[in-house]
Structure 1
């Protein structure tokens, strides 16, 4: 299987639980088993830059939100993507 995203030093073997989820997701209907749809209704003006900054800070801080499973040479590996390049580090107050 061709991987369009090359692996990097941030690639690690998948845990047994991740391997199990990967296998189950490949079964018919398994791709929706762990997806949960969620919607919010925002009232009032939205500061899009502040929202984008908050989401960038969240994903920068938590590797699990940037981790994806990739099939490589017959095994499943977890790949941690780097944080967004153009987002500044959050200031601590």
Structure 2
């Protein structure tokens, strides 16, 4: 027992530290709803809920695998390489008569 700490306060402090530690360890980001909560599938807010994107049950649109896949496909199809500059339009700069720093 710590010196100068009443017995009841020490127990309360130990309980508080243990509770916070165990709670932080059990909170994980859920792949079904995207929020952090204690993992219990039946207590997940997305449990038995229809996805607004793919219309399957058990997850939210924000974490929908089909949505992510479709977005990746769309991004890769829209990608185009940069156009090469037209060298025929290129002209060298004219030399300046001004001297800088002299």
Q: TM-score, normalised by structure 1?
A: 0.21
Specify which structure has the higher proportion of helix: 2
Structure 1 or 2, whichever has the larger Rg, is 2
Q: TM-score, normalised by structure 2?
A: 0.19
Specify which structure has the higher proportion of strand: 1
Higher RCO structure, 1 or 2 (CA under 8 Å, sep 6+): 1
